[in-house]
Amino acid sequence: MDLRVPEQEKAFRDEVRTFLEESLTPEIREAGRMVTSVFAPVKEAMAWQRILNDKGWAAPQWPKEFGGTGWSVTQRAIFAEELVRAETPPLVPMGLHMCGPCLIGCGTEEQQKEYLPKILSGEHFWCQGYSEPGSGSDLASLKTFAEKDGDDYILNGTKIWTTYAHYANKMFALVRTNRDDKPQQGITFLLLDMDLPGITIEPIVGLDEVPEQCQVFFDNVRVPQKNRVGEENDGWTVAKYLLTFERGGQEYAPGLNVMLEKIRLMAEKQQTAFGPLTKDPVWQHKFAALEADVLALEFTEMRIKSALSAGKDPGALSSMSKILGTELLQNVTELRIETLGSQSVIWQPQALVPGQEQPVIGPEYALTAMPHYLNSRACSIYGGSNEVQRGIIAKAVLGL
Amino acid sequence: MNFQLSEEQQMLADSAKRFVRDNSDVEKHRQNKKLMPLDAATWQQFADLGWLAVPFEEAHGGLGMGPLETMVLLEALGEGLIMAPYIATVVLGGGFLRQASAAQRAETIPALLEGKLQVAFAAEEYERVFTLENTAMAADLKGSEVVLNGTKSCVMNGDQADLLVVLARTVGQPGDQDGLSLFLVDANAPGVERVAHRTVDGRQGAEIRFNQVKVSEAARIGELNGGYAIARDVLHEGLLALSAESVGSLSVLLNETVEYSKTRQQFGMPIGKFQVLQFRMADMFIAMEQTRSLLLAATLKTVEGHADAAKAVHAMKAQLGRAGRKIAQEAIQIHGGMGMTDELGVGHYVKRVTGVDGLFGNADVHLMAMARSA
Ligand SMILES: Cc1cc2nc3c(=O)[nH]c(=O)nc-3n(C[C@H](O)[C@H](O)[C@H](O)COP(=O)(O)OP(=O)(O)OC[C@H]3O[C@@H](n4cnc5c(N)ncnc54)[C@H](O)[C@@H]3O)c2cc1C
Ligand SMILES: Cc1cc2nc3c(=O)[nH]c(=O)nc-3n(C[C@H](O)[C@H](O)[C@H](O)COP(=O)(O)OP(=O)(O)OC[C@H]3O[C@@H](n4cnc5c(N)ncnc54)[C@H](O)[C@@H]3O)c2cc1C
């Protein structure tokens, strides 16, 4: 065991840094700074994806034959860290991190040929149609029904919380094709176009006053059966396969380290009656506790990655990293609003839209603090709530 | 010892509860996505109901009541998320005006009681962790006049105020209690520039810049360099009111969460049947009751003038921050995706409670003040 960094990895880091410096436009950088959730402003995030794709770097985690980079696990980690350090806007994950890997693992060759290049290029913008009004944590109870009719399915029902459905032109969805069996056994995984007749999309306004999620309604929507991934009634297997990508392999520590460093710089600017806030023992204590947690998480994530690269299934470890990553993110955003006091109470969502000329009221570094704090509350709800994740650990790891 | 409301207090509580039943502002919170003018009709209603007169002496045309009655009123208003700037104008503004000279009082209090005067306390400053003694903005003496230069930040109701109470430093360094002075400044005086903004909690405030603003001696409240004690006492009444209002809001967050957990079904049962959620709601309830206890402790100690009243006020504001954070976060989590929406009331209460912690020193600031006041 050691932590030495081989020379060629240092050279790789330099290569990535040079590329980022040369290719990030001011607009994309601004969008990166304006991020207040796991999602970045869409237009700039897609522009950034196109630049990365031209370089062949849009999906390093994909196998090389499908458009991945063929990098080692360490190289991928370095790349991810450098993206975070340069404050690039995160790429929209539904295609690159969810649907793509899922098609690579479970799709037909025809589906792979049709969809994967367009996921990379951004031509297809995907959304995830899983949750329904009555089926959140209990996803397997979903009711949207797909009735067989000739070569098609006819869909009726509704999906909710569908992130970016109002931008998407494609959806991957879980639908019910059999009402008689155990709930998990009657579900099918479908790919569909968002402009099909019978689909309506209603955006849902969030706490930050921005519509990020949507409710999507299906009224006799016709989807060809060839758009099915996996077997009919076997969509749960496909969804579980996808889930390992949605939850696992995500790294929180690099981003948290960058956020902590920014908070320290902000705290240096805040004067108490006894000097800068960074000299205040209460603040120091809170900050150090978070630093310790993030360092621990960094190594927990490395352990998961090394298990992955040795070909082991990280299993319930991905539940652990989801709990830790999301809750530490929440704690870090909380320390940020606490560091800023009333400056984070000023509310100016209009100033978060990139390219706005309107001057920011108060210190510019305070602008995203409150929306980020509020939005990060969602991280312990989506992707399987943290209660559900703890349940998985209790059952699968502790045998309870 | 007696924790019963008097007959008069009960009447006030009843009238406030009736008002809130007919006038919840949750919908307004949802709709106001840009700067709005003052809701003059509601403010007039406050005047007609006699609420603006609560903390003023009868000799000034008031009802001769105090922090206990303010507590009763504000707790009810907090349940309805009522946005009217009562704390800024009546509790803080009124608190300062009661300390002003006879001439100033005669000029301002009748107008305030009629609902024709809005006030704001300009205290906080950018990049300065808020405590009164940490005030840096300078007021320079020029003969009998004072000249104000600098910027006050996040002045609640600062956008609507006709009259500003400005805390500034006439001598000494940030950290000194001595050397602070209080001035009444016309919000439209030459050299006063206001940048109005919304705040996360659906309210409004302003950044206020003072550029060579001349203030006469007659516009000072209290002694020159001796503003600290007045500011502290008035601020503490403001913090009591803010806490009372928040206790009302927190009780709604608790109740709505419990009710939601009884109706929302997952896995074939109400989510309130899951023990992990039951325990967390039990903890929310405990945190709520502890906050209510500190509110009573701080308010009664203040009214009766106990030596440790200030310490209790700091304890209460700290508890409000910590319990508020916990209750708000759990309320969202237990509501799942619904808790993240603009549509449900929960999020609006969460935003208010979160905003309140950031105003006039958060939980950490007040715990530190408590430690230092021991
Ligand atoms: C910002 C955001 C983005 C999202 N994006 C998408 C998307 O793109 N596509 C998509 O399909 N969905 C999306 N979702 C939906 C998300 O997956 C659901 O919100 C999540 O599954 C929780 O479901 P729910 O909201 O119905 O809450 P519920 O399932 O009703 O849960 C409410 C509360 O009860 C708890 N609970 C439930 N069951 C149990 C149990 N057995 N034991 C203990 N506690 C329990 C939960 O943990 C939660 O605290 C998104 C949600 C959010 C907030
Ligand atoms: C110092 C001491 C003094 C005592 N004195 C007396 C005495 O004078 N007379 C007397 O009769 N007894 C006495 N007791 C016994 C005491 O009442 C029991 O220890 C207590 O009732 C718990 O029972 P248990 O130890 O069997 O733990 P268990 O009941 O087995 O509980 C073990 C754990 O499971 C948890 N648990 C149990 N049920 C649930 C549930 N439904 N939901 C969630 N969690 C649950 C418990 O909270 C605990 O953490 C004493 C115990 C101690 C430690």
**Could you read off the pLDDT of A215-245 as tens digits, one per residue?**
999 999 999 999 999 999 999 999 988 887 6
Greatest Cα-to-Cα distance within chain B, rounded to the nearest angstrom: 78
Rounded Cα distance between A167 and B31, Å, is 24
For B191-229, write each residue's pLDDT tens digit: 999 999 999 999 999 999 999 999 999 999 999 999 999
Q: Which of B200, B242, B257, B342 to mutate to test the interface with A (most CBs of A within 10 A)?
A: B200
List the one residue out of B182, B161, B37, B42 whose CA is nearest residue B108.
B161
Predicted confidence (pLDDT) at residue A2 exceeds the cutoff of 90: no
- How much of chain A, in percent, has pLDDT values that exceed 70? 98
Q: Model-level pTM?
A: 0.96
- In chain B, what residues touch A387 (CB-CB under 8 Å)? 274, 276-277
- In chain A, what residues touch B368 (CB-CB under 8 Å)? 280, 282
Tell me the pLDDT band of A250, cut-offs 50, 70 and 90: confident
Given CB atoms, is A374 within the 8 Å cutoff of chain B?
yes
Do A23 and A50 meet the contact criterion of CB atoms below 8 Å apart? no
Yes or no, beta carbons of A341 and B195 under 8 Å apart: no
User: Which residues in B259-292 are b (16+ Cβ under 10 Å) and which e?
Assistant: ebbeebebeeeebbebeebeebbeebbebbeebb
Q: Positive or negative CA dihedral for A77, A82, A87, A92?
A: negative
Instruction: Give me the pLDDT at residue A41, please.
Output: 87
CB of A378 within 6 A of ligand 1: the answer is yes
Do B165 and B121 meet the contact criterion of CB atoms below 8 Å apart? yes
For B109-143, write each residue's pLDDT tens digit: 999 999 999 999 999 999 999 999 999 999 999 99
CB of B208 within 6 A of ligand 1: the answer is no
* Element of type H or E holding B240: helix B227-263
Predicted confidence (pLDDT) at residue A248 exceeds the cutoff of 60: no
Predicted confidence (pLDDT) at residue A310 exceeds the cutoff of 80: no
- What's the average model confidence in pLDDT over A344-365? 91
Task: List phi, psi (to 5°) of B263.
Answer: -105, -30
Predicted confidence (pLDDT) at residue A246 exceeds the cutoff of 80: no
Question: Which one has a higher pLDDT value, A72 or A379?
Answer: A379
Q: Note whether ipTM > 0.95 here.
A: yes
Using alpha carbons, list the distances in angstroms from residue B117 to A199, A346, B56, B78, B85: 53, 24, 15, 22, 11
Mean of all residue pLDDT scores within chain A: 93
Yes or no, beta carbons of A346 and B325 under 8 Å apart: no
List the one residue out of B160, B6, B156, B10 whose CA is nearest residue B76.
B10
Do A28 and A48 meet the contact criterion of CB atoms below 8 Å apart? yes
From the CA of A199, how far away is ligand 2's center (Å)?
Answer: 57
Helices (H), chain A: 7-23, 26-33, 42-55, 73-85, 93, 100-106, 109-121, 235-247, 253-269, 281-309, 317-340, 369-376, 386-392
Annotation says A298 is catalytic: no
Predicted confidence (pLDDT) at residue B174 exceeds the cutoff of 60: yes
Tell me the pLDDT band of A360, cut-offs 50, 70 and 90: very high
* Element of type H or E holding A174: strand A170-176
Q: Write the DSSP string, B204-226.
A: EEEEEEEEEEEE-GGGEESSTTB
- How much of chain B, in percent, has pLDDT values that exceed 70? 100
Do A87 and A32 meet the contact criterion of CB atoms below 8 Å apart? yes
CB of A112 within 6 A of ligand 1: the answer is no
Rounded Cα distance between A164 and B89, Å, is 43
- In chain B, what residues touch A390 (CB-CB under 8 Å)? 276
For residue B210, list its beta bridge partners. Answer: B150, B192
From the CA of B337, how far away is ligand 1's center (Å)?
Answer: 6
Yes or no, beta carbons of B358 and A131 under 8 Å apart: no
Give the closest-approach CA distance of A283 to chain B in angstroms.
8
Instruction: Give me the pLDDT at residue A247, please.
Output: 58
Kindly name the residue from A132, A246, A251, A301 that is annotated as catalytic.
A246
- Residue A147 has which token pair? 């009735």
For A64-102, write each residue's pLDDT tens digit: 999 999 998 788 888 988 999 999 999 999 999 999 999
Do B58 and B329 meet the contact criterion of CB atoms below 8 Å apart? no
Tell me the pLDDT band of A116, cut-offs 50, 70 and 90: very high
- In chain B, what residues touch A131 (CB-CB under 8 Å)? 337
Rounded Cα distance between B179 and B189, Å, is 24
Do B332 and B344 meet the contact criterion of CB atoms below 8 Å apart? no
For B249-275, write each residue's pLDDT tens digit: 999 999 999 999 999 999 999 999 999
For residue B266, list its beta bridge partners. Answer: B269
CB of B275 within 6 A of ligand 1: the answer is no
